[in-house]
Each structure stands twice: as C-alpha cells, then as structure tokens.
Amino acid sequence: MVKKSVLSLLVILVTLAVLSVEASNRPNIVFLLADDLGYTDIAPYGSEVKTPALSKLAEEGIRFTNYHTAANCAPSRAMLLTGVNNHLAGIPNIPEMLAPEQMVHENYQGVLGDNVVTIATLLEGSGYHTYMAGKWHLGAEPGKLPSQRGFERTVALMDSGADNWEQRPYLPIYDEANWFADGKRFELPDDFYSSRFLIDKTIEFIDNNLDDGKPFFAYVPFQAVHIPVQAPQEYIDRYMGVYDEGWDQLRQTRHDRAVELGILPEAVSMNRMSTTADWETLSPDRKRYEAKRMAVYAGMIEAMDANIARLVAYLESRGQIDNTIFVFTSDNGAEGSGAQDPTAFPGNILLSSAYDTDYETLGLKGSFNSISPGFTSAAVSPLSYYKFYVGEGGLRVPLIISGGPVSDPPAQTAAFAWATDIAATILGFARVDTPNGRYAGKPVLPITGKDLSPILRGEVEGVYEETDTVGYELTGHSALFRGDYKLVRNLQPLGDGEWRLYNIVIDPGEVEDLKAEMPDRLKTMLADYALFEEENGVEPIPPGYSRTRQLVINMLREQNGAAILIALLTMVLLIPFVVYVRTRPKS
C-alpha cells in the first residue's frame, strides 16, 4: 500500500516536472501592430523608408505577401485578438461610425463582445505574463478594458487615435485623449512620444517579471502611422527632399522595388485612383509642402522601427532573443482620407483652432499632419484603394513572423492568410488549446482562424483549401476571397457599387475584371458571400449612410447632446406662449 502511494506520488511529480519544463520552454511572443501602415511602407516590402529592425526580422523570419486584414482599425483588432470574425465579435465597425439603426443589433455595438475570449486571456490562463502598451479601441466601458480582457499589465489608449506628442485628442469627437494604465485613468509623461513611450513601457513590464521564468506575451499596438502623422525632427530631416518627385514616381519606384524583392511575382498593372491629383499641376510651394507631409510620414515609420530595435536589443541583452517570436503587421491599409490641401478650406478652418499646419513645424508638437491621397496610393503601391475600402490597398498589408523559435522558415510565402489566423498562430506557438465553445464556465465563440505554423515549418504551401472562403464587410463595401480569386464591391464615393472579380495572385492591382469571363465562378462566389453575411450577422447599411456624416452626427450627439436637449425642451414649452402672445386680441 505504502509502495503504491509512493509510486503514485512519483508519477505525479514527474508529470508536473515535465509540464513545468514544457511551460518554461514555451516561447515569448511579441506582437507588434502598426496603425494604418501601407503594403509597401517598410523596406522589406519595397519601401525607401529605412527600417533596419524590421528588415532584420524579415531576413531571419518569413514575409507573407498575400496577408489580408480588415479595412479599418477596431474590426481588425477584434479579429487579431480573438481569431473570430469581427461581426460576430461585436465590432462590424468602429463605434464612432455606427448608425443608431445598426446599434439595435447586439453584435453592432462597436465594442468587444463577451461572447469571445482574447488570446491574452487564454495565454494568461496557461501561465503567460501578458502585457499591452498602445492603442486598444475595443471598448472603454467596465468589463471591456484590456486589463479585464486578459492583459496583466497595460497602458492603453481607448480612442481611435490621439496626439503622439502629448495627451491631446486628435479629433473633436473626444473630450480628451483617454489613456488608461492597469484599468485606471492615466496621465502621460511630459516627455511623451508615442513609439518611444510604448516601447519603454513594454520593456518595463517585461523586465519586472523576467526573472520568474514564465514566458510573456507582449502586445504593442503602435500609434504610428495613424493621423496625426508626427515624428521627431531628426527622423523628418532624413527624408527631406526624398519625395520631391511626387506620388506617381514613388508609386512606380515602390512597385519596381517590390518586384526586385520578389514581393510581387512580376511587374503588375496598376489603377490610378481618382483622388490622386496631377503632381505636375501643383505649384512649387504645394509640391514642397506635400513632399514634407510625406517626409514626416516616413520619419514616423523609421522612429517606430528604431524603437522596435531598442526592444530587440533589450531582449538580446537579457538573453531572451533566442526564445522570442516576433509577429509584425498592420491593422489595415494606409489612410487615404487626409486632406488634399490641409492649408486650404475647409481643412484649415477645421484645424486652425486646435492645431497648426505650418510647413516649418510640420509633424512636431502642436502640428497636425496627414498624407494626401496621392501619397497614400504610393504607400500601398501597387494596390488599389486604401483604408475604409475593400480594394487590396485597404486590406493587404505586410506580415512578418520571425524569431529564434521559428527556425529556418521559407524567406517568404504567397499563401493567403487572414487576420483571424494571427490569433490561432500565436496560440499554436504557445501550445495553448483554442476554446471549443466554452471558456471559464461560459459559452464563447470558437476561433475560426487557421494556425499558419505549417507554412512557417515549410510543411505546406498554404493553409487554405481551394474551396475555403473568407468574407468581409465594412459599411456595405464587401469582399470574398476564395482560392486565388477575390470578389469585391466598393461603394461610393470612390467605388461604383459594382461587383468585380479578380485573380489577386497574378493581378494584385485589381485591374482586370474577370466576371464576364468567369460567370460560374462569379455566381458561386456571390452565393458564398450571401452565406457569409447570413452566418456572420452582417446587417444592411441604413439608407443614405455615409461614414463621414455619421461620424459628425455622432460627434454632435456625444459632445453637445445635453445642451441641444435642454434647448429643444425649452422650445417645446415656449411654443404655446409665443402663439398666445401673437394671437391674443389687441385691446
């Protein structure tokens, strides 16, 4: 009897020891997420912007050339962190752009639903330290903060964006820039610059617990390069003069470099967006100003890269680099809604009260900067459209997976990959099971993303079968991927509402519409899309919906709702008195 007990104890101890060794061998994971970064905005994808840290990660890891995400930020983040379609996860669009008719639906609240579990929660539950420093934008209400969605230490921006130099909102829809740390409101330090600060905090979080032997998951959603586009002067200076030839030249140069790098299989045809102005018709002053707008943008990317380099150097210095996996990507394509000319009406009126747009100080503290749509098209070269649209320029972005534990992967892959796959892949790295319908005693949606690890190990060329479909919708803009083909419909103002069919492997620029040549495929994919809408609770957009108009309407209600209500009620009370005064018999 005693012998049996001792034997059982030994078996338990050995099992625990094996599990413990297994746990300690699990890799650290650093998830770096750029904001509004275009397809060819970093050097390993064909950019002239110097990004040595990302280039090194790309050289040592794998570049995905056919990775797609959502067309705007919160929907993308919902999929990245849960592995579940954004419509099911409660974020079909950012809340700032949702119409009241849409918000009557439970899954149209614009905040992360309680029916999904984040990878941070799953990783924390399996013994990981989980850290976050950067933009959250998945809900600021109780229960929705990152500190309540699986992140052990956080410093997080709740809004769609904010100033990079100080605690200041970038749009009048916010009273203030809403930063939280570990679940409580947080004041930024005086020497704040977003990319530097976020990496400082990430290093601080990691360093505090590094000696306990547990692996960590660090999520770093940068503000770079979301508007306002701002950068330290030293980084801006490096790109002065680089963009003097204009956006058409840059779009072609990046295309050519992407071909040289093998990002594009060969030279591809490109559309010219209607929003791209004729560079040659601009005055010398306008050209000078536009070139500087883009120089600040490039400087902001390089500043982000320099801070990624600091994080890598820190991990090297602490002997962690060989056990750390890096995932780098962008939440969506480059932002194309910057003003054509921010110094002219109406941009100057809108911004003059809050920010300046002077040439000399562009991108510095107190300055508001964006890039014009022409340079946005260059940022996504050779793709069509950009953020908020479902052309490849809005959806296709860089994805790099790298680091010691990812041993000897192929240099790059043209395999199709989708935002939900990131969650599944990260859980695969950590050897954490995905929730199968339940987690922590309550039902949750299963992860639908696919683990990309077999591609990294060179075992398969892709994880999607020819018949697998991935659908996507944002404010009526619609897309469906199936094999090499993409069904796509962009609405106004830039699109025409027509369905089109492209082979995005040989025609990533979406130039040759194949729907007349392939009516059967078109019919099949239209049916697939209808099924996607049905299965994912996609609701039709309200008649006359426009995202810009809805943003303004929601802003009016949020900022001035109480004052308007008091005025209206007062008016209702006064109407009978006015009528009485005007109709009473004159004596």
203 three-state secondary structure: helix
CB nearer other proteins, residue 186 or residue 545: 545
At 472, list the tokens: 């996507």
Q: What angle do CA 321, 325, 328 make, to 5 degrees?
A: 115
User: CA 539, CA 533: separation in Å to the nearest integer?
Assistant: 8
Among positions 104, 349, 440, 581, the unique one binding other proteins when judged by CB under 8 A: 104
Q: Does residue 307 contact residue 199 with C-beta atoms inside 8 Å?
A: yes
Would you call 137 a catalytic residue per the annotation? yes
Residue 83 token pair: 């592995």
What span, in angstroms and rounded, lies between the C-alpha atoms of 578 and 571?
Answer: 10
- 10 binding other proteins? (CB under 8 A): no
Binding segment for other proteins (CB under 8 A), chosen from 118-126, 430-438, 504-512, 575-583, is: 575-583
Burial 317-334 (b: 16+ CB within 10 A, else e): eeebbebbbbbbbbbbbb
The verdict on 581 binding other proteins (CB under 8 A) reads no
> Rounded to an integer, what distance in angstroms lies between the CA atom of residue 385 and that of residue 61?
29
Give DSSP secondary structure letters for 286-313.
Answer: HHHHHHHHHHHHHHHHHHHHHHHHHHHH
Q: Which of 17, 19, 460, 579 binds other proteins (CB under 8 A)?
A: 579
Q: Which is nearer to other proteins, 440 or 563 (CB)?
A: 563
- Dihedral of alpha carbons 339, 240, 396, 449, sign: negative
For 496-539, give the DSSP string: -S--EEEETTT-TT--S--TTT-HHHHHHHHHHHHHHHHHTTPP
The CB-of-476 to other proteins minimum distance in angstroms stands at 16
Interaction of residue 561 with other proteins, rule CB under 8 A: yes
223-247 burial, b at 16+ Cβ within 10 Å, e below that, comes to bbbbbbbbbbeebbeebeeebeebb
21 contacts other proteins (rule: CB under 8 A): no
CB of residue 578 to other proteins, shortest distance in Å: 9
Nearer to other proteins by C-beta: 442 or 586? 586
Task: Out of 87, 129, 137, 255, pick the active-site residue.
Answer: 137
Which of 108-116, 457-465, 511-519, 570-578 is the region at the interface with other proteins (rule: CB under 8 A)? 570-578
Query: Is residue 54 at the binding interface for other proteins, with CB under 8 A as the rule?
Result: no
Which one of 99-107, 197-205, 271-279, 316-324 is the stretch in contact with other proteins (CB under 8 A)? 99-107
3 φ/ψ angles, rounded to the nearest 5 degrees: -60, -45
- The residues in 164-223 that bind other proteins, with binding defined as CB under 8 A, are none
446 or 542: whose CB is closer to other proteins? 542
Q: Is position 548 an interface residue for other proteins (rule: CB under 8 A)?
A: no
Does 576 engage in binding with other proteins (CB under 8 A)? yes
Instruction: Specify the stretch interacting with other proteins by CB under 8 A; choose among 11-19, 381-389, 428-436, 574-582.
Output: 574-582
Of 100, 143, 265, 443, the one binding other proteins by CB under 8 A: 100
What's the length of the chain?
A: 587
Give all strands of the β-sheet with 485-489 in edge-to-edge order.
469-474, 477-482, 485-489, 500-503
In the complex with other proteins, which residue's Cβ is closer, 364 or 553? 553
Catalytic status, residue 255: no
Burial class (CB in 10 A: 0-12, 13-18, 19+), 14: exposed
Q: Is 569 an interacting residue with respect to other proteins (CB under 8 A)?
A: yes
Bridge partners of residue 328, in order along the sequence: 32, 400
Q: Amino acid identity of 463?
A: V
Site for other proteins in 508-547 (CB under 8 A): 542
Residue of 88, 99, 339, 380 that binds other proteins (CB under 8 A): 99
Closer by beta carbon to other proteins, 19 or else 579 = 579
Judged by CB under 8 A, the residue of 6, 344, 530, 568 near other proteins is 568
Nearer to other proteins, 524 or 559 (CB): 559
Would you tell me which residues interact with other proteins (CB under 8 A)? 99-101, 103-104, 542, 553, 557, 561, 564-565, 568-569, 571-572, 575-576, 579, 582-583
List, by residue number, the catalytic residues.
Answer: 73, 137
